[in-house]
Amino acid sequence: MASSNFICSHQIYSSCNGKTHFNSFKKASFSIPSSYKFQHASCFERGFRYSRIRATASDSKTGKKQVEVVYDLEDKFSKLADEVDKNSGMSRLTLFSPCKINVFLRITGKREDGYHDLASLFHVISLGDKIKFSLSPSKSSDRLSTNVPGVPLDDRNLIIKALNLFRKKTGTDNYFWIHLDKKVPTGAGLGGGSSNAATALWAANQFSGGVATEKELQEWSGEIGSDIPFFFSHGAAYCTGRGEIVEDILKPLPFDVPLVLIKPQEACSTAEVYKRLTLDRTSTVDPLTLLEKISRSGISQDVCINDLEPPAFEVLPSLKRLKQRLIAAGRGQYDSVFMSGSGSTIVGVGSPDPPQFIYDDDEYKDVFLSEASFITRAENQWYTEVSMDAASSPMEFSIVVSMDAASSPMEFSV
């Protein structure tokens, strides 16, 4: 039987040596039987994600013509269903729920209420969860499910808290079935739960026809968590107070700067980290100077100050060693290496790859690894998932298909 060869760029979310690793590959090839039809993408291995692309098809008889090649059928069906929902009153919605990093995090004082004031450059990044919302027939409770164990599914979960808050503030009575597809690790300093809450508020507002403004959603969200209001910025903001005072910055960080996130299995308890914080050990640099320096010259090691590193490194001494080893082994590979939030994620800026010791050393066999990039959102739109390939380089895609031995080869390229 004749076979066809595919050569394409693609992206894989895989588990490698026990490590969860989000990776990009430039090229790969597959052999498939000649009976393959383009619209039947299901013959591919599960786990590969494909973009929908426009391709130019040509053969020697008919010349060139445009065809649409759909590689992500689930996405296609989802979009079709959303179209149907648009016409018949919305009943379901799937949203991306991205996480954040703190490019710098200065603690500027202790407050009367026991909390600390901070001054931080928050930035949304491309790693995120997916949340599916469906309107429930119930008028008394939401139902939450998730793909990972250990996440509370009752009203301790920030998604349920956000939906309760929305109903309280607006007097609406929509309840939901929610499925949370989690990729962002918890206890990581990445604001995954806060993002989920912001996304739930955004979704509830869409279902109710937009009764609240973005500003109102932002203000209300501060009642259930200090990091939530940030997600109603455009994705890059200077945050003060407990984090709830949010000022969008004019110049987000470049989308093409690659990041690597490395998080050991151990989480850092925010409460524990703040308990060990002593203000005389914090930096004395004016956070506005850091902000100005970053907007002028970009990210470098000296501007990525996180005052929570010393107490977090006391809580988790292995984290300090990880940061030191990344800086040493990176040998200039990274523009900066720092901890995000109260930990335990260490971020490397300037390369999507971890140093080799992360793969080789037994101590790191269970770490969470992901590459990422900075993202933002447009006015009146929620964040959307970006392809890592699209973020890092122009998409390169070519397919050469020999349909069978008798017919002439067709070439597809974009």
CB of 343 to ligand C5P, least distance (A): 12
Alpha carbons 382 and 336: distance in angstroms, whole number: 29
126 or 194: CB nearest ligand C5P: 194
Q: Is residue 113 annotated as a catalytic residue, yes or no?
A: no
**Closer to ligand C5P by Cβ: residue 75 or 272:** 272
Q: Is 77 in the site for ligand C5P (CB under 6 A)?
A: no
Binding region for ligand C5P (CB under 6 A) out of 95-103, 114-122, 376-384, 399-407: 114-122
CA dihedral 84, 86, 87, 89 (to 10 degrees): 110
Q: Which residues pair with 98 in a beta bridge?
A: 128
Amino acid at 129: D
Strands (E) across 182-295 are located at 236-240, 245-248, 259-263
The stretch near ligand C5P (CB under 6 A) out of 40-48, 109-117, 313-321, 329-337 is 109-117
**Contact present, 211 and 204 (Cβ < 8 Å):** no
Contact present, 58 and 65 (Cβ < 8 Å): yes
Q: Read off the tokens for 116.
A: 């600390």
- 99 or 118, CB closer to ligand C5P? 118
Residue 112 sits in the site that holds ligand C5P (CB under 6 A): no
Residue number with CB closer to ligand C5P (69 or 267): 267
Is the Cα dihedral 201, 206, 210, 213 positive or negative?
A: positive
Does 236 sit near ligand C5P (CB under 6 A)? no
115 lies in the binding site for ligand C5P (CB under 6 A):
yes
d(Cα 176, Cα 339) in Å, to the nearest integer? 36
CB of 108 to ligand C5P, least distance (A): 10
Exactly one of 50, 274, 359, 382 binds ligand C5P (CB under 6 A); that residue is: 274
Of the residues 76, 130, 169, 242, which one makes contact with ligand C5P according to CB under 6 A: 242
First to last CA, the chain: 28
Q: Does 118 bind ligand C5P (CB under 6 A)?
A: yes
CB-wise, 128 or 187, nearer to ligand C5P?
187
Among 10, 21, 106, 116, which residue interacts with ligand C5P (rule: CB under 6 A)? 116
Stretch that binds ligand C5P, among 27-35, 197-205, 268-276, 406-414 (CB under 6 A): 268-276
270 binds ligand C5P (CB under 6 A): yes
Catalytic residue among 129, 161, 182, 227: 227
Residue 414 tokens read as: 């974009």
For residues 152-187, b (16+ Cβ closer than 10 Å) or e, as one string? eeeeebbbbbbbebbbebbebebbbbbbbebbbbeb
- Phi and psi dihedrals of 192, rounded to 5? -60, -45
Residue 97 sits in the site that holds ligand C5P (CB under 6 A): no
Q: Does 276 interact with ligand C5P (rule: CB under 6 A)? A: no
Distance CA 347, CA 263 (A): 9
Q: How far is the CB of 97 from ligand C5P (least distance, A)?
A: 18
CB of 253 or CB of 267, closer to ligand C5P: 267
226 makes contact with ligand C5P (CB under 6 A): yes
Closest approach of Cβ 28 to ligand C5P, in Å? 41
The CA distance from 377 to 382, in Å, is 6
Active site residue 132: no
Alpha-carbon distance 224 to 3, whole Å? 57
Query: Would you please indicate which residues are annotated as catalytic (active-site) residues?
Result: 100, 227
Residues interacting with ligand C5P, by CB under 6 A? Answer: 114-116, 118, 226, 242, 270-271, 274
